[in-house]
Amino acid sequence: MSEERDRFLTEAMGECFHDIDLGKPVFSCKGGGFVCPKCEELVVSNNYFSTREDFARLWQWVSKQEGLGSFFSAFPADTIENSDERNRFADGLYKLLKITKGR
């Protein structure tokens, strides 16, 4: 469920879940990446909400969303520190939004 979950949540946040497999490789002295054919931005990877860095952006987004306060408040502030808790949060949010958005 992880890639589908991460794709869904990324798009719910209003961001592009990049089609890296279809992208054009780009290399420079600073590293490499791909140009996403959907958004035409240079990207290195997609959001993976099991990682601390990407989860932090999801946590911030959820904290600002009306209607998600009770879901958000059910998790302690140190959720970001524990990979199992990050996944539990992301999985729960995915299921909740799938139900409420009817997708």
- The answer, yes or no, to whether residue 94 has pLDDT greater than 70, is yes
* Number of domains the chain contains: 1
pLDDT for 52? 96
The string of pLDDT tens digits covering residues 15-42 is 999 876 655 666 565 667 788 888 888 8
Cα–Cα distance for residue pair 7/18, rounded to 1 Å: 9
Task: Report how far apart, in Å, the C-alpha atoms of 53 and of each of 24, 69, 81 are.
Answer: 25, 22, 10
The string of pLDDT tens digits covering residues 78-93 is 999 999 999 999 999 9
pLDDT for 36? 83
Residue 44 lies in domain: 2-101
* Mean pLDDT of the residues in the chain: 88
pTM assigned to the model: 0.84
Residue 82 three-state SS: coil
Query: Which ranges constitute the DSSP H helices of the chain?
Result: 2-12, 52-63, 69-73, 83-101
For residues 9 and 47, the answer to whether their CB atoms sit within 8 Å is: yes
